[in-house]
Amino acid sequence: MKKVKSETDRKYYFLINSLEIGGAERVVINQANELIKKGFQVYVFTLKSACLYDLPKGVVHIPLSTISDNFCLFFALPRFIYRFQSLRKKYGLDDGISFLEISNFIHILARREAKISFRTHINFFTGFFGWLQKLFIKILYPRAAKIIVNSRENRHDLAAYLGISEQKIEVVYNSIDEEKIMLLSREALEDELQKKIRNKRVYITVGRLIKEKHHEIIMDALSCLKNKNWIWLIVGDGPERSFLETKAQEYGLEDSIFFLGQQKNIFKYVAKSDFFLYASSVEGFPNVLLEARFLGIPIITTDFKSGAREVILGEDTNMIGKVLRYPYKGRHGYLLDANHYGVQFLEIVKLIGK
């Protein structure tokens, strides 16, 4: 008699561009950790070899290449499809999911039953490379067996773009490891930084330093504050760092703005902050906002597409698709109009005092 596989015999795989710092990467780590606890054998396939996270014990990490440039990844699709198909067959893997666009393209082209996760918004893709990705999304995503998104707003907009029913898209909100976040949040700050933030209002922003995040808008707003008794912690790195550092010097804010770069433990900084600032023009459903919300840090964010309203107002909000009057106060902070962030930020500072 053929033995029926128990849950502890099951295997699960993730396919993602890399395990560098990012929201989708943290979701993979969190989900892998939960599956390991349930006795699953977990495999993580990455297109790039970089890994900046401590993988849960028992997770098998399999890089598919040594390529480091995202644009080059796109042109290696045939190679990735062949390697992924071969390795999936070798390890006997039937159940899994992919994250991020290039990995999703590979997954769909490699198997008919592909389950993919779309964690940004279609408006995020700009320029030639963005146009190319949108073209592939339009052609390939309707072929996926299942599309999972992380906000109701994203489901609505993606279904309209693909010309498919919303019923074909499932909403699964990002998971966060609450126990781990609480543990890491208790870690002490570096002595020098602790001294600098003492008796000051601490603002924080976590995320890649790229144009779409609009850190410069936050800096413009902070520079207008009459009371200079504040500190802004910027956690993350990226191509805009040099520009932002120069801008901070031009404003004479070198002693108030601290560029902390990439950090494995972002939570010790978030937990010591008074407000989480975010000015992104387009997103998926940022983990950093969920994590800040969990730690009880009020959030001041643009009303970006998609997910901002569900973070600030609650996942059960009925305000999706409705016109808001900004700044809009919600359960977990404030929503601002991206085109008037500075003015509305100053309004909020007056409201909260100090």
The answer, yes or no, to whether residue 3 has pLDDT greater than 80, is: no
Top pLDDT among 339 and 311 is at 311
The answer, yes or no, to whether residue 51 has pLDDT greater than 80, is: yes
Mean pLDDT across the chain: 91
What is the CATH code for 184-352? 3.40.50.2000
- Cβ pair 137, 101 in contact under 8 A: yes
Sequence length of the chain is 354
Q: What is the mean pLDDT of residues 58-68?
A: 93
Enter the tokens of residue 297.
Answer: 């840090």
The answer, yes or no, to whether residue 1 has pLDDT greater than 70, is: no
**Window from 7-11, 117-121, 157-161, 298-302 with minimum mean pLDDT:** 7-11
The answer, yes or no, to whether residue 8 has pLDDT greater than 50, is: no
Q: What is the mean pLDDT of residues 135-162?
A: 94
- Check for a shared fold between 7-171 and 184-352: yes
**Window from 210-219, 275-284, 315-324 with minimum mean pLDDT:** 315-324
Q: What is the mean pLDDT of residues 178-203?
A: 95
Top pLDDT among 1 and 171 is at 171
The answer, yes or no, to whether residue 79 has pLDDT greater than 50, is: yes
The answer, yes or no, to whether residue 34 has pLDDT greater than 50, is: yes
- From the CB of residue 138, how many other CB atoms can be counted at a distance below 10 Å? 13
The answer, yes or no, to whether residue 194 has pLDDT greater than 70, is: yes
Token pair 């998609």 is found at: 306
pTM of this prediction?
A: 0.75
CATH of range 7-171; options 3.65.10.10, 1.10.357.10, 3.30.460.80, 3.40.50.2000: 3.40.50.2000
Q: What is the mean pLDDT of residues 231-250?
A: 96
- Res 215: pLDDT: 94
Percent residues over pLDDT 90 in the chain: 68
CA distance 95 to 115: 9
Domain boundaries, the chain: 7-171, 184-352
CA distance 185 to 174: 19
The answer, yes or no, to whether residue 262 has pLDDT greater than 80, is: yes
**Residue 180 CA: distances (Å) to CA of 24, 41, 154:** 17, 21, 28
- Cβ pair 302, 212 in contact under 8 A: no
Enter the tokens of residue 346.
Answer: 């100053």
Top pLDDT among 228 and 243 is at 243
Q: What is the mean pLDDT of residues 35-64?
A: 92
Burial class (CB in 10 A: 0-12, 13-18, 19+), 77: middle
